Structure 1
């Protein structure tokens, strides 16, 4: 019988916390004083110039210089302490801030409440080499609030040598993690993150192994830097080759290996194309160790192409519409800390409770995996949301922890609702709704799914609708074929791309016939229409599908539409249009095909009528199958490996 290895004792990061204390969070700064991310580590004073905080002022990973007469605030994303999260979820009742400085100045401690109101808590004058400590209770943080501190330098300046937030030691063991990376032909990103892990000794102190599941043809092991990094990592690195089973297949393998290995208390799901902030792994591991019960702990996502922009701060599933949503009405995607720092953003001070965390960075206790199973076999899309909802139903919550994050290309620069990914969005959303919707017939799930088909049809996106129709057929076929079709659907969907103009891209507009329209039209830039206008335009768009093509539309596009204007209420005006894709790498010629549209519309209506009529039967079938299709045994057959002992908890 495989058993877990004994839990390690105190870690090197706890040495500065003192006897009876455990480090919850260390104050950190960007490597090489990276100006693109500096605002995430230091809240620069209003109107501060780059000359006031120069990259050379960042003296190391934990140290910064404050120039004479200047003030720097650690009320920043990575260095403010999210006290309300620690109060809500962990056994800790207070934190101790320890600040080590050199030179003359002052240390001032602040707190906020859930409304974002700020209050000065304490301050101390310092001179020479000084260690200042502040014991700070969690009493007032029921709904939200943070702690942070400012540094004010005297006439000769001062240096922050280091600072940390600690909590009282408890009987909770010190857990360790496996990092689970799934990759498909992003070997360069994987090697880059492997180098970050190899260089960080503190992270490696909590690491059992980094597992890279390579499902591509451009292999991680073929990268020039890999052999040297592999030698440095030693037994802490394992690369597994397997067929392309998508993100869910790769992450299921990560979960499986961590759970059956008997070494790790947690596995951290990591996307392959992220830029890692390694301290985040230490933070979510420590937080998970101190949670009252086993908890999934996730990190937030910053925009890799605009690094001061926070793309997501927490995610829920709208239970009636059954689509991802933001937990709070004041939240929005794309918050830029370079423009509005944490201290000035009131909605970030209220604690955000979530349903799930994206698997760009999410810690899952192996105990939970053994109990509720592995990922759904759904290739991509909704696997992370479904897993979070499944864990929540079993009594295991997810926390998206501020101060833990990675950088990833945001969804703003992608459009995965069209093309081959539409199949997975459609099918997997319906599956997750069948499994977890609190409403007898899924609320608005089915109606909105049919409306989405209509929007794509009036937008002349026939390849997208072909994939969505296949998704509906596969859903109706039941859950027991999900493993069988896991490696099949993507190549089949890609093979159909050549049959449709809207999925055939060319790099330049000059490769198409000239734009010509008898009555030129301009794109309608309404933003999102009001409900009444949307109903009106939707009626017009559907009615237009039953009219003959306007003269010349089949041979010449009538307009050129930029991706930002590629909305159904705009595209539906035309019989043909050149449309730029989300990445800006190609252009497709959308052409209206009335007979194809009507045929697809009939099938869509028929499929959705069946799904709605059979919703109770389908729900029962998928819920009964869930333990079976997410089991270790089912995934072992899909992986093509021999069954292994899952081990036991000690």
Structure 2
């Protein structure tokens, strides 16, 4: 048997640590860096059964060849007690084993604790009771694995960037110092590809010592990640490629744990995708998603509920979660997003390259197509702006509409999903809110699919179509600029509004009516597209209403019968005034109905034509030509 270090005990001087130290340690006394160690400034209790520092024994047992685990600690100071901890699926606080492993005497002590756990334990950790100051350094978990089960791993990190120099240069230096420059085994088996779609980086200055910057034309995220895949394939020795967004914060320890995990995966998970969690940049303990799934309506959804990883119970929920896939079939339609996704090169050879979507659905389609097993672990993650902070109608109303139904036609990846349902919901949603520009984007996305594969296969079509969508989408203006217009036209002072004024809704028909009344008027509202197709809906609270500006918001009580909308996007601090235009609504709705009729008439031939181009569009040769690499 061989000992393999699988996770360092992590304390780091980062924004995340200072904002939410409970991700690392729960303490009732200060914790701070001191030279080459960290000071636990007791007296106090320091519980390391946390998101980053607990060992997910249940998952390691499932994913790997590990036979047992050891915790190695190096401590110096007044340790009153040292306990191993553990937690089961329903625990809200860690529980300690009885044995006290506290060292005696002065100076540094190296302690190796065999991890003891039962079948019901989800995670294990350790707790230090300090009678005074205690220092900790060079501590880690190790797994005991059969000598012949350790895999040879060469890991390439590929990140795609477009004019986000501050993010990407920071991540390059972080990787160069903390991963390539570390004393860990990964340093000799790792490289980083930076695909610069904006060609704005100094490639010569930033390349070297394990990092290579490739200037590239703007081919979107899908093109940039395809470029990285090709470089990994061409290298010959790369076994796994880690795809990661550029505008993220990452702990180098997540990359190290990914590498060590790859080395000890068992045969069942040898070709699994390792999917890192997306944590919320502004609330660093909020876990948004690690694995997603495609609903039967065609909506991207997180597989797990939103979790707060500063809370121990949520840490064990994340590691023990398994939904009712036998009841809800669409839960089987799983994928891993490419903000942090590690893919075996062997899976690329078997399943081909991604589709040239520019942005959106490329990662979901690829995961759905490959149908891999998925590996997730607490402590493997990135921090990213939350989805509601970066809504873009060009993406959500054009790219999402076109790419979902188009990808389904080519690779048949989501058999439980009818993308037309979601397209219909999207256009109705924009029309009832008088957002005619973005409703037209929905039509355009659908129509570009209806034009067949010849258009889609054109080399620069995806880029040009996305740029056109961004040009044609509704343009909201900064609230400072909107304020005077709102005062002059509506008599509303934007500066006096609060969050609740914007985001709350009212019952259809007001508060004095019952459920039957509200159901009837809900149906009337939906059938008539807020009275724009026919009828004369009488608003409950006045002709002018204030609504939320993010595209997926829906406030039918306020919208019902209104003629003018003051639209406020709280997240971006922008807004716009919209007016009812019944004739324009009828025109767009008729256009969409014509599109649906054409789709139903030509569906079989259309899907056959798209499916016929699958082998071409997913081939390395196609992508090398697309990326000018021939």
TM-score, normalized by the shorter chain, greater than 0.5:
yes
- Is 2:237 the partner of 1:259? no
Residue 512 of structure 1, aligned match among 478, 482, 485: 485
RMSD of aligned residue pairs (Cα, Å): 3.4
Counterpart position of 1:40: 23
Structure 2 counterparts to residues 318-397 of structure 1, below 5 A: 318=295, 320-328=296-304, 331-332=305-306, 335-338=307-310, 341-343=311-313, 347-351=317-321, 355-392=334-371, 396-397=372-373
In structure 1, the residue matched to 2:96 is: 120
* Cross-structure match for 2:85: 110
Equivalent residue in structure 2 for 1:159, among 132, 135, 138:
135
Counterparts of 1:397-408 in structure 2, within 5 Å, are 397-408=373-384
Q: Provide closer, same or farther for how the CA distance between residues 149 and 467 of structure 1 changes in structure 2, counting only shifts above 3 A.
A: same
Question: Helix, strand or coil: the match of 1:378?
Answer: coil
Within 5 Å, give how 1:68-467 maps onto structure 2. Answer: 68-103=42-77, 104-116=79-91, 119-121=95-97, 123=99, 124-128=101-105, 129-136=108-115, 140=119, 145-153=122-130, 155-169=131-145, 170-171=147-148, 172-200=150-178, 201-202=181-182, 205-206=187-188, 208-216=190-198, 219-221=200-202, 227=205, 230=206, 234-291=208-265, 292=267, 293-318=270-295, 320-328=296-304, 331-332=305-306, 335-338=307-310, 341-343=311-313, 347-351=317-321, 355-392=334-371, 396-416=372-392, 418-419=393-394, 421-434=396-409, 435-436=411-412, 439=415, 442-467=416-441
Q: Distance in 2 between matches of 1:105 and 1:613?
A: 77
TM-score when scaled to structure 2? 0.83
SS of 2:74's equivalent in the other structure is strand
Does residue 26 (structure 1) correspond to residue 5 (structure 2)? The answer is no
| Counterpart Cα distance in 1 of 2:187 and 2:95 | 37
Preserved contact between residue 175 and residue 206 of structure 1 (Cα < 8 Å):
no
1:630 to 597, 618, 625: 618
- Structure 1 range deviating more: 201-210 or 462-471: 201-210
Q: 1:32 to 1:474 in 2, by over 3 A?
A: closer
* C-alpha distance in 2 between matches for 1:122 and 1:315: 40
SS, match of residue 125 in structure 1: coil
The answer to whether residue 524 in structure 2 is matched with residue 539 in structure 1 is yes
Distance 2:132 2:117 in 1: 35
Q: Distance in 2 between matches of 1:93 and 1:534?
A: 59
Cα 1:76–1:449 change in 2 (3 A) is same
Cα displacement (A) at 1:503: 2.5
Tell me, in whole angstroms, the C-alpha distance in 1 between the residues paired with 2:48 and 2:403: 42
Cα separation, 1, equivalents of 2:335 and 2:293: 6
Counterpart of 1:554?
Answer: none
Deviation track 1:134-176 (CA, whole Å, cap 9, x = no partner) reads 33367615xx7111111111x3332223321111243323312
Aligned CA distance change for structure 1 residues 535 and 107 (closer, same or farther; 3 Å) = farther
- Structure 2: runs of 5 or more not aligned: 324-331, 493-500, 509-514
- Most deviating of 577-586 and 247-256: 577-586
- 1:447–1:562 Cα change, 3 Å: closer
Partner Cα separation in structure 1 for residue 436 and residue 219 of structure 2: 26
Shift of 1:615: 4.8
Pair 1:288–1:610, CA change in 2 (3 A): farther
Structure 2 Cα separation of the partners of residues 531 and 24 of structure 1: 59
Question: What SS does the corresponding residue of 1:255 show, helix, strand or coil?
Answer: helix
Alignment partner of 2:569 out of 581, 593, 597: 581
Alignment gaps of 5+ in structure 1: 1-18, 552-556, 643-650
Question: Is the 1:576–1:589 contact (alpha carbons within 8 Å) kept by the matching residues of 2?
Answer: yes
Q: Deviations over 1:164-221 (max 9, x none)?
A: 111124332331221111111111111111111121123760554321111126x122
Cα contact 1:28–1:78 (8 A) shared by 2: yes
What secondary structure does 1:77 align onto? coil
Q: Which of 438, 445, 453 is the matching residue for 1:471?
A: 445
Tell me how many residue pairs correspond in the alignment: 581
Quick one: structure 1 residues 344 and 445, their matched pair in 2 at CA, closer, same or farther if it must change by over 3 Å? closer
Measure, in 2, the Cα distance between the counterparts of 1:212 and 1:528.
Answer: 51
By relative contact order (CA 8 Å, sep 6+), the higher-ranking structure is 1
Distance in 2 separating the partners of 1:209 and 1:448: 41
**SS of the counterpart of 1:66?**
strand
Distance 2:257 2:603 in 1: 42
Aligned partners of 1:422 and 1:432: how far apart in 2?
16
Judge conservation of contact 2:51–2:315 (CA < 8 Å) in 1: no
Any idea what the Cα deviations from partners look like across 1:430-472, whole Å, max 9, x if unmatched? 2344434564xx5443223212211111111222122211111
Contact 2:297-2:421 at 8 Å conserved across structures: no
Structure 1 CA distance, aligned partners of 2:81 and 2:394? 57
Distance of 1:237 and 1:531 partners within structure 2: 64
Distance 1:301 1:595, change over 3 A: same
Query: Distance in 1 between the 2:405 and 2:519 partners?
Result: 24
**Structure 1 CA distance, aligned partners of 2:228 and 2:465?**
22
- Alignment match, 1:648: none
Tell me if the contact between 1:379 and 1:486 (Cα under 8 Å) persists in the aligned partners. yes
Tell me which residue corresponds to 1:607.
595
Tell me if the contact between 1:85 and 1:351 (Cα under 8 Å) persists in the aligned partners.
no
The alpha-carbon distance between structure 1 residues 535 and 137, as it changes in their structure 2 partners (threshold 3 A), is: farther
Secondary structure, counterpart of 1:260 in structure 2: helix
Q: Counterpart in 1 of 2:497?
A: none
Which residue is 1:503 aligned to? 475
CA deviation profile, 1:236-283 (whole Å, cap 9, x unmatched): 222222221111111111111111121321111111111121111111
The CA deviation string for residues 532-586 of structure 1, in whole angstroms up to 9 with x for no partner, is 95774353252511369999xxxxx934445479525234543222312354342
* Cα deviation, residue 611, structure 1: 3.8
When residues 619 and 531 of structure 1 are mapped into structure 2, their CA distance, relative to the original with a 3 A threshold, is farther
Deviation at 1:101, TM superposition (A): 1.7
Classify the secondary structure of the residue corresponding to 2:288: strand
